[in-house]
C-alpha cells in the first residue's frame, strides 16, 4: 500500500513524524500505526506534551540553555562559580557535562557550531552574547577566570572553538581559555560521551 492511499490525517501524521531526526519513512509509518492503535489518552498526552514544551520552554536570558523561567536553574543557583563559563553547542550538551559532577561553573549555549557550508556564520550563534557576557562581568568587577570551550570534537566544533578563542584572546588577554582534552571520540557529539570519558576530558582540559 503506497503512502498516498492513506487517509489525509494519517498521511499528515506520517509526514510530520518523518521530519524527526533518525526517522525515515518506514519508521514514521510504524510510529503512526502505533499511535493509531494506542489508547486515546496516550496519543493526546503525546500531542499535549509537544504543545506544552513549545509554549513553556524558551532560552535562558543569560546562558541560552532551555528553561521555563527567565533564567535557567543553573544560572539561578548561587553555589555555581560564575567566574567559569563552559561553552557548548546545544542545550543537550549541558546534561552530559552535569553528569560528570566535575564541573561547578556556569554555561553558555551557542545554539550550534560554525559551518559556512551549511550557512551557519558567527552571527547565527550566541558568540557576540558570550563576548558581551565576559565584558559585562569584567565591568562589574567579577572578572571571568576561565572559559572552557566544550564544543564537539568535530570539524565544525573545532573551528568554532578556535574562532571563539581568538576573539576572547583579543578582548581579554588575562582570561584563561581552555579546550576539553582529547580522548573524546573524534567526530562524535558530546551528547553521546559517557560521563567518565567526559569527566576525564574536562579534568585534562588544555589552554588554547
Ligand atoms: Zn542559564
Distance (angstroms) between ligand 1 centre and the Cα of 77 equals 9
CA of 124 to the centre of ligand 1 (A): 19
Task: Tell how far the Cα of 64 is from the centroid of ligand 1, in angstroms.
Answer: 6
Q: What local confidence, expressed as pLDDT, does residue 3 receive?
A: 62
Measure 89 CA to ligand 1 centroid, in angstroms. 14
Burial (CB count <10 Å: 0-12, 13-18, 19+), residue 178:
buried
What is the per-residue burial (b if ≥16 Cβ within 10 Å, else e) of 24-52?
Answer: eeeebbebbeeeeeeeeeeeeeeeeeeee
Give the mean pLDDT of 33-42. 97
| CB distance 151 to 113 below 8 Å | yes
Across 128-142, average pLDDT: 94
Tell me the average pLDDT of the chain: 92
pLDDT digits (tens, 9 = 90+) for 165-191: 999 999 999 999 999 876 666 666 777
CA of residue 34 to ligand 1 center, whole Å: 37
- Partner residues linked to 120 by β-bridges: 115
pLDDT computed for residue 185 by the predictor: 67
pLDDT at res. 177: 96
From the CA of 86, how far away is ligand 1's center (Å)? 11
Q: What is the mean pLDDT of residues 111-119?
A: 92
User: Cα of 81 to ligand 1 centre, how many Å?
Assistant: 13
Residue 6 in this model has a pLDDT that exceeds 70: yes
Q: Which residue's C-alpha cell is 546562558?
A: 63
pLDDT at residue 140 above 80? Answer: yes
Amino acid at each position: 500500500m503506497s503512502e498516498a492511499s492513506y487517509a489525509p490525517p494519517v498521511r499528515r501524521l506520517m509526514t510530520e513524524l518523518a521530519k524527526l531526526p533518525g526517522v525515515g519513512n518506514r519508521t514514521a509509518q510504524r510510529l503512526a500505526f502505533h499511535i493509531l492503535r494506542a489508547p486515546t489518552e496516550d496519543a493526546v498526552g503525546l500531542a499535549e506534551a509537544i504543545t506544552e514544551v513549545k509554549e513553556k520552554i524558551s532560552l535562558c536570558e543569560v546562558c541560552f540553555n532551555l528553561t521555563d523561567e527567565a533564567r535557567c536553574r543553573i544560572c539561578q543557583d548561587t553555589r555555581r562559580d560564575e567566574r567559569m563559563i563552559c561553552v557548548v553547542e546545544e542545550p543537550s550538551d549541558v546534561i552530559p557535562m552535569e553528569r560528570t559532577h566535575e564541573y561547578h561553573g556556569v554555561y553558555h549555549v551557542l545554539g550550534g557550531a560554525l559551518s559556512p557550508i551549511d550557512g551557519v556564520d558567527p552571527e547565527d550563534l550566541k558568540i557576540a552574547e558570550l563576548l558581551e557576557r565576559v565584558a559585562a562581568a569584567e565591568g562589574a568587577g567579577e572578572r571571568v577566570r576561565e572559559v572552557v570551550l566544550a564544543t564537539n570534537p568535530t570539524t565544525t566544533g573545532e573551528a568554532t572553538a578556535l574562532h571563539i578563542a581568538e576573539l576572547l584572546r583579543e578582548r581579554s588577554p588575562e582570561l584563561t581559555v581552555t579546550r576539553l582534552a582529547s580522548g573524546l571520540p573524534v567526530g562524535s557529539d558530546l551528547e553521546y560521551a559517557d560521563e567518565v570519558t567526559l569527566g576525564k576530558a574536562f579534568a585534562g582540559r588544555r589552554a588554547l
